[in-house]
Structure 1
Amino acid sequence: MRAESSSAARTGAFIAVAVALFCIQVDFFALNLAIPGIAEELDVTASAAQWTLSTYMLAVGCFFIVGGRLGDVFGRRGTLLVGLALFAAGSVGCALAPGLWQLVGARIVQGVGAGFVFPVSVAVISNAFPDETRARALGAAFGVANIGTALGPFVGGGFTEGPGWRWIFWLLAPLSTLALLVAIAYVPDSRDTSAPRQLDLTACFTLVCSLAALTLAVERGSAWGWDHARALTLFGVAVLMGWLFLVRERLASHPLVDLRPFRNVPYVLVTDMGSVANMGYGVTVFVATLYLQGVRGLSPLMAGIVFLAPALLVALSGPLGARLATRMRPTAVMALAGGIAGTGMIALSHVTAWWLYVPVFAWCGLGLGLGWTFSSVATQQVVPPARAGEASGVLLTFLVTLGAIALAGAAATITAMTPQRPAEDAYDAILRFGGAVILLASVVVMAVRHRLVVHGKAPPLSMYAPWPPADVGGGNRETRP
């Protein structure tokens, strides 16, 4: 069901969602540069302080699908409010935490809140705005979120060197509270009226257990050792619970995740390309942070300033995607993003001069930002509005889980290569490999799409081309890549 929205309601929904996504993205990327400061103040090792990142990512990844489906079944407005309240409370808890484990607990609360907010936010915009302005609104909201993504390292480095890492959370607490108050006042409600007002708790349990085990194994595998009993046990639990989840979904009359979209080629292509782009984004930010501080010798604050270069292009990628959506099919936009990102990552591994490094870094930001941002916009174009939250939750789960795997792989590669070779060589090798993977994914997407066009199962690249052709039955919103 789509709520009828007034102009004020649409504006309020946009502000609430944009501010909420900004806070989540700042939080996601700011704490990396604060880990040494946290370890020093709380008198723990840097490895122990790393749990503040691991548990947050674990909580976020586990609750994307659950949060999205909660919104579809019980109402997106209520789910958004609960998520924002949890995120704001968790931010205050982080700022006041007297020790590491209190901080870790507050980070879990933040992560659960973010897991509710992110997929529901996409659905709130999709259902508040009409078809002709939806892509533009989503693009603008993700443009604001991307500013948070790019500014995260700058905020983290600046506060860590200045008043202290706790001020990261003192910044997030009032901003997320503002988003909560605006959402209370303006966000209209919507939900999937075809679904009964009940949630498959068995599916929720098996899914959360599977994702939690997988995320924890990936996050801590490099520290424990990939053949360590704890890592192998967690991988085994992830596989077992994932299998039980799939069995339950096939038997349930109202499944938590509708598996039918995975027979939708456009949805699969968009999800795959978005996941690859997000993996590249996380790895590039991680490698660039190490490079700027370890090889270039920059302070956290100065490294954050360098990140301002891609910040502008990352922020512009949201509105750019919305504009391209009126001219190109979703899969074509995703492939274009991959082409920009892949060439940028490979080029970044070859340049050292500042006059060239900074603009190439910005070029990477444009392609990678467009890739992960537009994937959320594109999924809303190829699924029914009633299941917008679920589709967004599934996409985001893939993005976060595979992003964590990519980061773990990058860290393991650096650890394996640095005893024999300079760290800079490891960074370059990772960027080149990642760029090649993204370029290959773009080629595969366009090859599949071309085959669909040849067989009359997909429209041409241009949005202005007539569709369907005379000898092919009419397409629908779910089958237009």
Structure 2
Amino acid sequence: MPAEPSRAVRTGAFVASALILFCIQLDFFALNLAVPAISKELGVTVSAGQWVLSSYMLAIGCFFIVGGRMGDIFGRRGILLAGIGLFTVGSVACALAPNLGYLVGGRIVQGVGAGFLFPVSVSVISNTFPADARARVLGALFGIANIGTALGPFVGGGLVEGPGWRWIFWLMTPLTVLALLISLRYVPDSRDDSAPRDLDLVGCFLIVCCLATLTLSLERGSARGWGHPGVVLSFVVALVTGVLFVVRERLARHPLVDLRLFRNIPYVLVTGMGSVANMGYAVTIFISTLYLQGVRGLSPLMAGTVFLAPALMVALSGPLGARMAQHMRPTTVMALAAAVAGTGMYALTLVNAWWAYVPVFACCGLGLGLGWTFSSVATQQLVAPARAGEASGVLLTFLVTLGAVALAVTAAALTSMAPHRPLSEIYDLILQCGGIVVLAAAVIVIISVHLLLRKGRLSAQSDTQEAPHGARL
């Protein structure tokens, strides 16, 4: 039995993981405001410049599952170091990019690195800290990461107006190098000892193809129309490769994703609830950005100031969720988060005065942030540490993919209703529908847990469920 990591090792592993997740969040949210400046300097349209964001999301979404399982199989320390190296190299490439093609290429490298780092960082913490401290430490980890989310727009706006957008990437370089050095010194290695060092390459190829074509379909569908032949073909390829992936995982001797994971009903409920919360978060941020600037007439800086309230609540949601987890089952925390989030989304459409709008917006951010942040903490309580990377990778894939679906549906709704209704009315309708969906998800989770308890499928003290073949999931 391996020796328990020392306090210095645990602290070093936490600092390295928190620093790299902070960088990933800061990088993405800082760059959102830089697209117009990038497009102008590189001489491309803003629509083409959006590929700086789209290519990154495409890469990161495709490699969550692959990165998480590679960490479980080959060793989490090595994959963490590889992910940091890729993210750092990608950052330097972006900072030096002479044109849009090179910049998009650098963003893809960054995205692949981030796709490795998110699930592996979570599994490193799950395998370094004891079970009684795991939720608290993971909550703190995501709290620090979400500080990057809160600071991103201000850092990005300041750098774009000051030394230029390239400094967003230069800022990442020393921070990620520091994370690399700390990881080399402190992060211990761990892996799934029951799994042979044999990666399901066919499964990797199929899931990357499925997610890449699905993301491209959603990206292009809003611009070209959902009936465009290229968009339809992409959807067909995504469907076919998705079905083939499931078939492959059922037949593979050592699958990339053990489909028995989806027999763990609490894991499925938490993943589903986290995905709904992230969909609500994506839609709320998107609609509120349009509302504050298009209807309220705020400048980007003033709109960013309003966003500071929900952003800070999202940052606090990590530690808050960890504290709540000490007294409640994970599904209960998720249901409460959804109740606050759904109510907040609906209430945003009913308030006009600033003294009411800002606190309601903050409560909305707290509920939505707690929903999608705590899902990463909760799933680690519901799976064995040996398969922590796989479980985290699957969860993150659902969060990102369904968030993209929600944005695509929202964009399509705006396009179809814009000629017939005032924009403020459309924004209200979308938020109200979203709030109802999130509240309905909370009710479904509560009813499901109640039924599982009555049938004896769950422990009365926790959500832990005995999985098939005796594995604790």
Q: TM-score range by the shorter chain?
A: over 0.9
Alignment of 1:29 with 2:29, yes or no, is yes
Q: Following the alignment from structure 1 to structure 2, what is the Cα–Cα distance between the partners of residues 259 and 219?
A: 28
Pick closer, same or farther for the CA change 1:478–1:365 going to 2, 3 Å: farther
Question: Could you say which residue in structure 2 is the equivalent of 1:205?
Answer: 205
Change (3 A) 1:411 1:173: farther
Q: What corresponds to 1:350 in structure 2?
A: 350
Distance in 2 (CA, whole Å) between partners of 1:241 and 1:3 is 43
Correspondences of 1:171-182 after superposition (within 5 Å): 171-182=171-182
Alignment-derived partner of residue 259 in structure 1? 259
- Give me the whole-angstrom Cα distance separating, in 1, the residues matched to 2:413 and 2:164: 32
Q: Counterpart of 1:143 in structure 2: which amino acid?
A: G
CA distance 1:293–1:3, shift in 2 (3 Å): farther
The structure-2 alpha-carbon separation of the partners of 1:51 and 1:353, relative to structure 1 and needing over 3 Å to count, comes to same
Q: Distance in 2 between matches of 1:288 and 1:278?
A: 15
Q: 1:332 to 1:207 in 2, by over 3 A?
A: same
TM-score of the superposed pair, with normalisation by structure 1: 0.94
On the 8 A contact 1:153/1:307 being kept in 2, the answer is no
| In structure 2, distance between residues paired with 1:413 and 1:45 | 24
Give the equivalent residue in structure 1 for 2:185: 185
Q: CA RMSD in A?
A: 1.9
Give the Å deviation of 1:477.
8.7
CA contact (8 A) 1:267 1:379 kept: yes
- Does residue 40 of structure 2 align to residue 40 of structure 1? yes
Whichever residue aligns with residue 137 of structure 2, its letter is: A
How far 1:261 sits from its partner (Å)?
Answer: 1.1
State the secondary structure of the residue aligned to 1:389: helix
Q: Deviations over 1:244-264 (max 9, x none)?
A: 111111111110000001011
Task: Output one character per residue of 1:272-299: Cα deviation in whole Å (capped at 9) or x when no partner.
Answer: 0000001111111112222222223333
Please list, as runs of the form range in 1=range in 2, the aligned pairs for 1:325-364 lying within 5 A after superposition.
325-364=325-364
Report the Cα offset of residue 478 of structure 1.
4.0
Instruction: Give the Å deviation of 1:315.
Output: 1.1
Give yes or no for the alignment of 1:439 onto 2:439. Answer: yes
Aligned to 1:314: 314
**Which whole-Å CA distance do the structure 1 matches of 2:288 and 2:161 have between them?**
19
Q: Identify if the C-alpha distance between structure 1 residues 200 and 42 changes in structure 2 by more than 3 Å, giving closer, same or farther.
A: same
Q: Residues 292-322 of structure 1, C-alpha deviation per residue, up to 9 Å, x if partnerless? A: 2222333323222222111221111100111
Contact 1:3 1:127 in 2 (8 A): no
Question: What is the total number of aligned residue pairs between the two structures?
Answer: 470
Greater mean deviation of Cα atoms: 308-317 or 30-39? 30-39
The one-letter amino acid paired with 2:286 is F
Unaligned runs of 5+ in 1: none
In structure 1, the residue matched to 2:425 is 425
1:409 is matched with which residue? Answer: 409
Shift of 1:357: 1.3
Give 3-state SS (helix, strand or coil) of 2:5's partner: coil
Indicate the SS of the match to 1:255: coil
Whole-angstrom CA distance in 2 between matches of 1:436 and 1:33: 30
For structure 1, which segment, 288-297 or 177-186, has the greater mean C-alpha deviation from structure 2 after superposition? 288-297
Partner of 1:458: 458
Q: For structure 1, which segment, 412-421 or 99-108, has the greater mean C-alpha deviation from structure 2 after superposition?
A: 412-421
- CA gap 1:125/1:150 in 2 versus in 1, 3 angstroms: same
Say if 1:178 and 1:304 are closer, same or farther in 2 by CA, change over 3 A: farther
Q: Distance in 2 between matches of 1:311 and 1:45?
A: 30
Distance 1:75 1:14, change over 3 A: same
Change (3 A) 1:429 1:165: farther
Comparing 397-406 with 286-295, greater Cα deviation is found at: 286-295
The equivalences for 1:118-137 within 5 A come to 118-137=118-137
1:73 counterpart residue number:
73
Q: Residues of 2 paired with 1:258 and 1:168: CA distance? A: 39
Q: After superposition, where does 1:219-298 map in structure 2 within 5 Å?
A: 219-298=219-298
1:199 positional shift: 0.6
For residues 273 and 3 of structure 1, the distance between their equivalents in structure 2, rounded to whole angstroms, comes to 36
Q: Counterparts of 1:351 and 1:171 in 2: how far apart (Å)?
A: 39
Higher mean displacement: 366-375 or 345-354: 345-354
The worse-fitting range, judged by mean Cα deviation, of 349-358 and 128-137 is 349-358
Offset of residue 163 of structure 1: 3.1
Please tell me the residue identity of whatever aligns with 2:207: L
Q: Distance in 2 between matches of 1:34 and 1:290?
A: 17
User: What's the offset of the Cα at 1:20?
Assistant: 0.9
Determine if contact 1:154/1:308 at 8 Å carries over to the other structure. no
1:332-373 deviation digits (Å, cap 9, x = unpaired): 111011011111111112222221111111111111111011
Contact 1:266 1:382 (8 Å CA) reproduced: yes
Give the structure 1 partner of residue 138 of structure 2: 138
Query: Percent identity of the aligned residues?
Result: 70
Deviation at 1:42, TM superposition (A): 1.4
Task: Return the alpha-carbon distance in structure 1 between the equivalents of residues 3 and 121 of structure 2.
Answer: 15
- AA paired with 1:356? A
Rounded to whole Å, the distance in 1 between the matches of 2:306 and 2:427 is 17
1:382 aligned residue:
382
Please give the secondary structure, in 2, of the residue aligned with 1:456. Answer: coil
Letter in structure 2 aligned against 1:329: R
